[in-house]
Structure 1
């Protein structure tokens, strides 16, 4: 990262951490995106926050042509909930971002005809997808659990790009099996 400075971390002399202000901004972004995704995921899984629950979500997936709609509802709900928790905590951030992005790729396909700034528009879904992509590429910042996981301290851009590729492939495969 161009804005990174060398900061000594026990056991990892070459790790670079962004400045505190950048890390605080990443923390705020992660927390908000993570909380939103946990909320949406638990709406699908448990019907919390006036959500449809598994049965209503499965009905919606079936209506737009997904095979095994109940299974797809569980996968989407878990991806959003666990991805959101991972983002909020800064835990396995590239994979958490991939879970959110893969789900949003499918949501974009479903909502694309809604256009921008309309009641069922695409702008929210697109914002979530791009925010998850950005977090995969930047990493979670210094205020995150990932900071204490040695494997995630090195090669951050490579992990981010790999996570994005995983999300795109997984999202595309699900779209291909949709009727």
Structure 2
């Protein structure tokens, strides 16, 4: 039996770059999670923005937002559609992952608030929205893994927990402000 220290590998001082290594199972797992969440959210955004995949487009989504009590419903439809599309594509690429994840999570906080009271389980409940929101939060906190564009960006080569926490807080604060604007 190996010790926990041997399983975890050598400890590094904070800020010390991680040496380059081949992709591990967790990098592939994070890629699969990013693809699943990112493509799902990008498709939902395309429904809102363009009416693709059976969506309502800006007009239909705007009507839903009006019925849900949002002021300037078409503007909120555009913001939600862009947040979902760009956040989703950011997750797919592993590009600015903490911010992409925050955009997805923040949008879903609003979706959860709108559906609140319908129970937990689908189709009226919030389980789907909660699962995607928490998956996005997990990606913000863990980072995208090494199979990501972030790996090639200065300052994002090695994920820092503080970036993820800051992004999640930003997403929740913006979501809360948005919810305060609802009637």
TM-score, length-normalised on structure 2?
0.89
Root-mean-square deviation (Å): 2.1
Match of 1:93 among 94, 97, 102: 97
Structure 2: tracts of 5 or more residues without a match: none
Displaced runs of 4 or more, over 4 A:
2-6, 16-19
Give yes or no for contact 2:91–2:97 (8 Å, CA) kept in 1.
Answer: yes
In 2, Cα distance between the equivalents of 1:100 and 1:131?
A: 10
1:14 aligns with 2:17: yes
In 1, Cα distance between the equivalents of 2:65 and 2:131?
A: 22
In 2, Cα distance between the equivalents of 1:5 and 1:60?
A: 51
CA deviation map 1:112-142 (0-9, x unaligned) = 2111224221000000100000000000000
Q: How many residues get paired?
A: 173
CA positional deviation for 1:155: 5.5
Q: 5 Å matches for 1:72-151?
A: 72-151=76-155
CA positional deviation for 1:15: 2.8
User: Structure 1 residues 171 and 16, CA, compared in 2 at 3 Å: closer, same or farther?
Assistant: farther
Which entry has the higher C-alpha Rg, 1 or 2? 2
User: Structure 1 residues 149 and 169, CA, compared in 2 at 3 Å: closer, same or farther?
Assistant: same
| Bigger mean CA deviation after superposition, 58-67 or 148-157 | 148-157
In the other structure, the counterpart of 1:33 is 37
User: Structure 1 residues 55 and 162, CA, compared in 2 at 3 Å: closer, same or farther?
Assistant: same
1:68 aligns with 2:72: yes
Match of 1:171 among 168, 171, 175: 175
Give yes or no for contact 1:4–1:16 (8 Å, CA) kept in 2.
Answer: no
In 1, Cα distance between the equivalents of 2:148 and 2:8?
A: 16
